[in-house]
Chains A and B, each alone.
Chain A
């Protein structure tokens, strides 16, 4: 199942997790220590983030480390940038039209 990335980052705990593991890869236990919540809840958040492909897991010995999927985070910015360009173009066109109408009125 494909999840909504923005749903994933709308939750404050999940945003906290992202901020934490952006600095270094961490185990679920180490992540849970930073939150006032159960280890189980943190696991659930990690599962959602993994399903969104925002985080990746890596086995090191007996531990699983979670780290941020930087490319995916960039992807979000990329399509927001596309959206920005749509508005920029649209508004450039409106600038032109407004100036044309103003000239016609004179």
Chain B
């Protein structure tokens, strides 16, 4: 991390959950937008050199986001996220599943619970992911992030170095 903002990743194997807590140096409405607006989301969702490409996104209860993680070679891995509950600027819930390019979900998926709060200009986001089967997670990693990773970290460092602080 390039700053001292909190990043916490905890796994509860018994409950089959992963919880990721992160602080951001920005006010809540902006952070909320970053998670709920397609044009911002696509800029950070995929760990580089992968790209996130959203085909459509309807941020409303029952609405869906259909997107692909695109590898540098152009390989597409599709996912569907269905918004199951939304409390504006506080919380939203997603049902996330891998999919084929024709929007057919591959079940079971995982349940995501995202909580947003702000204190003194710092916004904290807590994401809890419940997996019926954590084999899914294994699959996600097998899908190609593994190889790309060392490269990813290097790319990121380069990118950060070029950006004005």
Contact = CB atoms under 8 A, between A and B. Distances in A.
A47 interface: no
User: Mostly helix, strand, loop or mixed at chain A's interface?
Assistant: helix
Contact of B2 (A85, A90, A95, A100): A95
B36 to A, nearest CB: 13
Nearest to A12: B14
B40 interface: yes
Contacts, number: 104
Contacts of A10: 13-14, 16
Given A82-B146, A93-B43, A103-B164, 4 more contacts: A10-B14, A91-B7, A94-B44, A98-B34
A102 B1 contact: no
Contacts of B156: 89, 92-93
Interface stretch (A1-9, A24-32, A60-68): A1-9
Interface in A73-100: 76, 79-80, 82-100
A92 B1 contact: yes
Contacts of B163: 96, 99-100
Interface stretch (B54-62, B71-79, B84-92, B129-137): B129-137
A91 B7 CA distance: 9
Contacts of A7: 133
Contacts of A72: none
Interface in B1-42: 1-3, 5, 7, 9, 11, 13-14, 16, 18, 20, 22, 24-26, 30-31, 34, 40
**On chain B, which size bracket covers the interface?**
35 or more
A92 B135 contact: no
Contacts of B141: 79, 82-83, 86
Contact of B145 (A5, A86, A92, A95): A86
Contact of A83 (B14, B18, B30, B159): B18
Contacts of A98: 24-26, 30-31, 34
B16 to A, nearest CB: 6
Contacts of A44: none
9 contacts: A4-B133, A6-B135, A80-B18, A82-B145, A83-B140, A89-B156, A93-B43, A94-B24, A95-B2
